[in-house]
Amino acid sequence: MAHQPKDNGDTIRPHRFALLLFITILLTWGTFMVFAIRAANLSDETAGTVFAIFAPGTSGATALSTIIRAGGLPIRQNLGGMVWTAHGTAPGFAGRLRRQGAMAVLDEFPFSPQLGGCIVYAKSPRSPYSLRRNLP
């Protein structure tokens, strides 16, 4: 009699498989995010309220001084200090931020995480409870 078809599903180490799957998903996601954020980088002459993204590990003091040297005002720290919301009225603010050390300067959109239970309730950027609420 022939053996049953061989199934890796029965011999696999499940936690290792799950970990590898999620690491692969994260890496793929990260790649797409890098492309999307690069594409979203604002032109040098842009002014207004922006997101300044700094390298991981950048201290709050360094980020603050970078924003101020670029002629802007820091508004808020996001994502543990890696992303700052900053405002600068003079033209060329985005370019100056990059030259002073910001990795990327994006149009301000809320970095508020979205959540759905089994129904969707992702909030819109201008929902009453988005991060914009604290803006002057």
Q: Which residues bind another protein (CB under 8 A)?
A: 1-10, 12, 14-15, 17-18, 21-22, 25-26, 29, 32-33, 36-37, 39-40, 76, 78, 106-107, 109-131, 133-134
Whole-number minimum distance, CB 75 to another protein, in Å?
12
**Which of 21, 90 has the CB closer to another protein?**
21
Q: Which stretch of DSSP H or E encloses residue 100?
A: helix 93-100
Whole-number minimum distance, CB 114 to another protein, in Å?
4
Task: Say how far apart CA 86 and CA 54 lie, in whole Å.
Answer: 12
**Which of 40, 55 has the CB closer to another protein?**
40
**Which of 45, 69 has the CB closer to another protein?**
45
Estimate to the nearest angstrom the gap between the alpha carbon of 65 and the chain centroid: 21
Whole-number minimum distance, CB 54 to another protein, in Å?
17
Torsions phi, psi for 53 (to 5 deg): -105, 125
Which two structure tokens, joined as six digits, stand for 32? 């797409």
Task: Say how far apart CA 24 and CA 18 lie, in whole Å.
Answer: 10
Q: Which stretch of DSSP H or E encloses residue 8?
A: helix 8-11
Whole-number minimum distance, CB 28 to another protein, in Å?
9
**Which of 27, 61 has the CB closer to another protein?**
27
Task: Say how far apart CA 25 and CA 11 lie, in whole Å.
Answer: 23
